[in-house]
Structure formats: C-alpha cells, structure tokens
Structure 1
Amino acid sequence: MEVPYDFLNAWNAYMLQGTVAFIGIGFLILLYHEFRIFIIKDLKEKYDYVNLHEIRYFWFAVIAFIAAGFLFFNTLFTEMIHEKGMTWFYVRLFITVSFAIISYFIFYSIIRIYYPRSVEKRLRKIRNKPRKSPEGNIMRKLSEVEEDAHLEDSQIHEEQFHSVDYDVWIDDKTGYKKIEKYMAYQHSEECPECGYFTLKIEREELEKAPTQDETGLFIKHFKCSYCGHREAREQVLAKLSTNA
C-alpha cells in the first residue's frame, strides 16, 4: 500500500499538538482545583469542597493525561510505516487505542482504591486545623464530652441515631461558638479484608430503641466496594432520661 507522506507528516504534527494540549489541560484542571481550595477561606467550606470534588477533578486530569499519551504514541514508529506501508499505521492505531482503554480502567481502579486514603488524610488535616473567630482569636475544639452541652437535643439525637458527627469550636475569650456538621456515610474507611479505603456505610438500623429502663441498640452496616466485604458495628444507646 502506498504511503501518503504528507498525510503522515500532518498526522504527526496534529498528534504532537494534541499531546501538548491535553497535558496542559490536565495540569490546568489540577491547578484550577487547588486554586479553588486556596480561595475558600472558611475551613468547613474548604472541607466540603475537597470531599465532594477532589477525586473527581483528579480523575479528569488523569483522563487528559491518558489522552495525551494516546496521541503521543501515535507519532512513534513512523519510519516503520514509511518502510512497510500503511498497514502498520492501522496496527499502531489499534494498539494505542487498546492501551488507552486498558489504561483508563487500570487508573480508574487505582484511583478508586488508593486515592481515597490521600483524600481522607487531607480532610482530617482540614477538619482539625484550628478555626479563628470573627475577632481573629484561635478557637478551641471541644471534646465529645464537652460538646454535648453546646448542642441542641435534635443534634445530639442525630449523633446517636445517624451517621452524623458535630464538631464544636469555641472562642474562650469571647464565647463565640461555631458548630460544624459532618456526614460519616460520605467517607471511606480502610477495609479489614482487602486493606483498601473502600469501606463505607451502606445502611443503618435501629435494632432496639432505648427506654428509661433499658439501653438501646443501633447497628451500622458497612460494605467494601472493592472486595465486597461486609460487617456490622453495634452501638449501644444510652437510656432515656426521665425528662425525655
């Protein structure tokens, strides 16, 4: 088969331009994400943004880099095509498409399995970073025992019966208080079976409601999205007070 040299030269030029473009797009996605995090001053808002968008933007960047690799590898072995004919052009195209598809699924699995560990580490750092009050004072995060005095009954109820956790920050100088709400079901934990951060709360059930005479029992059911491991964790609920 006759080799169209002009076509191959133009092909290589476009592939290289596309490679540079997709590499640039990948880095721009990452920079945009980090810039958004940087300009969010409220730490709770920063936490929520990272929790919702970190993995998604990272995956978009990886897709851009995979596309860049696909285009670049379609410029290699051009001399072989010149020597042996256009059949090798289609062979190269088939191989690069195959590798792009394989890379897509490999990186998808890697990000889904390994990257949540990095995200959770970043989230913990943001969540525990000392807050500042409107007056500029460093606030103190209350312990689980201390915070109940600052929560409403409905919030305490949420912590007991649902996968909700509240952080209470207080400015000891002015008494200013800030309460932040966190949803546990949005987060992954390390699976004891496979060791990946793919264990999440699947459902919850109130096995036994507490009364004034007896404690209650609340069960959280977890499932690993990677290996399918399941486990249930029991939580004993305190007896109801006489004022309940």
Structure 2
Amino acid sequence: MKLLGIISFAVALIVYLIHNIRVSMVKEYKDKYDFLIRNEIKWYRWATYFIAIGVAFLINLYGSNEAGLNKVGVWFFVRIFFGIAGGTLIGYVSYLVLEFYYPTKLNSKLKKWRYMPRVNPKSGHKMRLLSEEEEDVHLDEGRQAEESIFSIDYDVWLDEKTGDVKIEKYLGHLTALKCNNCGFYTMKVMKEEITQRYEDESPKELLKHYKCAYCKNIRATAFVISRKEADDYKKDPSRGKRNTKNIDMVKIEIHSILSGKRFYEFPSVEQAQKFLEEFDLDKVAKG
C-alpha cells in the first residue's frame, strides 16, 4: 500500500510537471492562451485524482502493522472504507476548487497572456492593441457581426511604424464572467434573445440571461447592437487611441421617476458608450 501511495503521488507530480513544461514550450502568447484554456484545469484535475488515490492508500496503511487489524475481518474492511472515503473526500474537494475557485486564478493568467504586448515578427517593433472602435476598421463585416453579439472577440494589434496588423480570435469574452454574488468566475450565458429591433427589423438589443454555476445567482444583461460600419469610424478622426481592453465590465445605473431604477452591464467602455448614444427612456418605459 505504501508503495502504491508513493507511486500515485509521483504520477500526480509528473502530470503537473508535464503540463507546465508543455506550457513553457508554447512560444506564441495567443497559442499559450488557447493551450491554457483548453488544458490547464483538465490536467490539474488528473493530478488531484492521483493525489486522492495516494491519500486513500496512505489512510489504508493505518494499523497495517497490527496483526489483528491486518487480518481479513471487520477492521480490515473498516480500513478499506476509511481509505476510500478519505480519497473520495480529497477528490471531491479538489473538484470543487478547480470547478469554482480556480477559474478566477486562471482568468488572471489568461489576461496576462492575452494582453501581453506583441512584437511584430517581421520588424521587431512593439505592436499596439487597438481599442474596440479602432479595430473595427480592420475587421470585415462578418467579424464585426460576431463581435456585436459577443459570440467571438477579436484583438487587433498594429505596428504603427510599418502598418502591419495582427488579428487574434477569441471565443466569447475571455472565460465565464465574474458573479457579483459569490465573486467566482462562474457566471455563464444560459439563454439569449433579441428584445428590440430597428425599423428594418435588424437586431437592436440583445438580452443575455446568465446563471452562476456555483451559487445559482441569475441576472440578465442588455447589449445594444450598433449599426455603425467601419467607414463611420474612419470618418471620425477624433477618436483617441485609448486602450480600454483591460476593463472587465462597465455598469450603468439609470434612475427614472416613472420606471424607477434600471441596471445595465457591458463588457467594454465602447459598448456602454454605444448604449448611451442610442438610449431612449420613452421607448424603455413603454417596453
């Protein structure tokens, strides 16, 4: 049993080291981001399972040197029961930590690699991350549509000296959102619906329903889908070169005498600005 316990702990350590070595071997920041989001929790979960197995074997060692406890009888099965129970407890606690707590840590790690300054491989110049409004000039209509409904997020890096552009594609807005109730990054989209349309029946407002996988907290957030095209941004040179990518969320609270308080949340400053530009209290009150 002791040998099996040591082997289990050794395997857990090997799994952990292999994963981190593989991470260190990925050179491109975007590739490292993708590798982490696909594999980190999965590999750590395997490591914790082997630790749980090792703990079960070690618990089962209790009383193994006692002749009476080592015989096949009641105490023998009691030892096995406590070993399995202890290993199961460790495995379950590890599962909860990786499922609900660790995504918060992973989110910080993902942000680090996503927003790490890029270098143009052709010239060696440092590239600048464009804001949401600036990047639309470099995205075709299909990509802009994906960003409008937040199914896909694009980062555009520009080498201002050579004009070279690098576009990186991300699924959704990083990982799950942070739950305001429990503080974990476990708030995920459960349902989406179009609540308002323009005169030509094109989508105007998208309502997303979120549910926290941990505390089961529920919230709904409205997103305004802008109809601005890339040419609109090209014609507006006054837009500054602001970098607001690191902002997780913008909250807007509107107080009205007739309709009371309304709360809106947006994943970026640009989306909040678009909402305020097109906000009509009369239409909201009627709705």
For the aligned pair, the TM-score class normalised by the smaller chain equals: 0.7 to 0.9
Q: Which residue of 2 aligns with 1:138?
A: 126
Instruction: Please state how far the C-alpha of 1:210 moved relative to its aligned partner.
Output: 3.3
**Contact 2:205–2:222 (CA under 8 A) maintained in structure 1:** yes
Paired residue type of 2:49: I
Q: Which residue of 2 aligns with 1:205?
A: 193
- Tell me the SS of whatever aligns to 1:165: strand
| Matches of 1:228 and 1:55, distance apart in 2 | 21
1:76 paired to 2:62: yes
Q: Deviations over 1:104-124 (max 9, x none)?
A: 222211221101001101000
Structure 1, unpaired ranges of 5+? 1-14
Q: Which residue of 2 aligns with 1:61?
A: 47
| Matches of 1:100 and 1:57, distance apart in 2 | 18
TM-score relative to the length of structure 2: 0.73
1:173 paired to 2:158: no
Q: Which residue of 2 aligns with 1:232?
A: 220
Residues 116 and 36 from structure 1, CA distance in 2 versus in 1: closer, same or farther, beyond 3 angstroms? Answer: same
- What are the within-5 Å matches in structure 2 for residues 139-154 of structure 1? 139-154=127-142
Q: Which residue of 1 aligns with 2:80?
A: 93
- Tell me the SS of whatever aligns to 2:155: strand
| Matches of 1:41 and 1:202, distance apart in 2 | 35
Q: Which residue of 2 aligns with 1:192?
A: 180
- Kindly indicate which of the two structures has a greater share of residues assigned to helix: 1
Residues 50 and 16 from structure 1, CA distance in 2 versus in 1: closer, same or farther, beyond 3 angstroms? Answer: same
Paired residue type of 2:3: Q
Residues 215 and 98 from structure 1, CA distance in 2 versus in 1: closer, same or farther, beyond 3 angstroms? Answer: closer
| Matches of 1:125 and 1:51, distance apart in 2 | 13
Q: Which residue of 1 aligns with 2:94?
A: 107
Instruction: Please state how far the C-alpha of 1:50 moved relative to its aligned partner.
Output: 0.4
| Matches of 1:238 and 1:226, distance apart in 2 | 33
1:29 paired to 2:28: no
Q: Percent identity among equivalent residues?
A: 31
Instruction: Please state how far the C-alpha of 1:149 moved relative to its aligned partner.
Output: 1.1
The worse-fitting range, judged by mean Cα deviation, of 68-77 and 207-216 is 207-216
Instruction: Please state how far the C-alpha of 1:214 moved relative to its aligned partner.
Output: 9.6
Q: Deviations over 1:135-192 (max 9, x none)?
A: 2222111111211111111111111123321100011222211111112267122212
- Tell me the SS of whatever aligns to 1:130: coil
- Aligned residue pairs, count: 228
TM-score relative to the length of structure 1: 0.85
Structure 2, unpaired ranges of 5+? 232-287
